[in-house]
Amino acid sequence: MPVHIIVAIKQVMDPEIPPSAFTIAENAKEVVSPSNIPPVINGYDEQAIEAALRIKETVEEATITVVSIGSNFSLDVMKKPLSMGADELILVDTGDIGNDPDSNIAAYLLTSAIRKIGSFDLILCGRQASDWDNAQVPVGVASMLKVPIITVGRKVEITAKNVRVERVLPNGYELVESNLPAVVTLSSELGEPRYPTLRGIMAATKKQPILWSLNDLSIDEDLPTSNLTINTITTPEKQNECTIIEGENGQEAGKNLALKLREAKLI
């Protein structure tokens, strides 16, 4: 039996944009993506893709379906999983409702998309998205699909019936096991995701992402109501005076810094 792995990914604003490019809408209720800096696939989600590809290398036959819910997709950015080696990519344009601050909504939409995809053995996600850092959608998906979830993994292995995950702990790791199907979230400790090879890029040009809209999800009246409302979004103010310690050369500056810290009784 071929293994079917679904990887859920999210398009986010590049978390490395300079603070000066970070802007908030005039209504003070949303963050505006800068038009001159392309979005990225959430970093941990790339680790989830990498984990899926590593599993694919160890089993006889596996299919990897990558799915994303969101809006204003950048196809150039979102096609990356295909060039990394994923088999199929489904982008579900859910318009604005996918941006609700309540993770219940996104979890519900993603679950609906996964139900439409059909059967699966394993769902892999990033541990959290770098925009809202909620770390909730994967838990919601597991709960709605009534399957186990193991979070913050750095290594994932599957057998015929089980998944084994090394979960990152503050000073080490724990080995956790559950039945399949299951949801597993991945962390950066898994290691760098692979770069697409030229062959991968060539192969990906032949594959087109499958585009779905909200209508394709047969959303019914159980769409959860949002329990969270945004009052304001603001940028934190920083008012700090940094005293720059000088010296004739670097060595001297370092020495002067130590003297200054002693004078301030910090060391």
Q: Which is nearer to ligand FAD, 118 or 250 (CB)?
A: 250
Contact criterion met (CB below 8 Å) for 90 and 117: yes
Q: Which is nearer to ligand FAD, 172 or 250 (CB)?
A: 250
- Residue 221 touching other proteins (CB under 8 A): no
**Integer Rg of the chain from CA:** 22
* CA distances to 71, 73, 107, 187, 219 from 98, in Å: 8, 12, 9, 23, 13
Q: Which does 170 bind (CB under 5 to 8 A by kind): other proteins, ligand FAD, none?
A: other proteins
Binding site for ligand FAD (CB under 6 A): 15-16, 43, 130
Q: Can you read off the two tokens belonging to residue 159?
A: 């057998």
The dihedral formed by the CA atoms of 40, 121, 141 and 74, expressed in degrees to the nearest 10: 20
According to CB under 8 A, which residues from 53 to 72 bind other proteins?
Answer: none
Nearest distance in Å: CB 87, other proteins? 27
Q: Which of 26, 170, 215, 218 binds other proteins (CB under 8 A)?
A: 170
Q: Which is nearer to ligand FAD, 43 or 140 (CB)?
A: 43
Q: Which does 231 bind (CB under 5 to 8 A by kind): other proteins, ligand FAD, none?
A: other proteins
Contact criterion met (CB below 8 Å) for 188 and 222: no
DSSP assignment letter at 135: -
Contact string 128-147 vs other proteins (x = CB under 8 A): x-xxxxxxx--xx--xx---
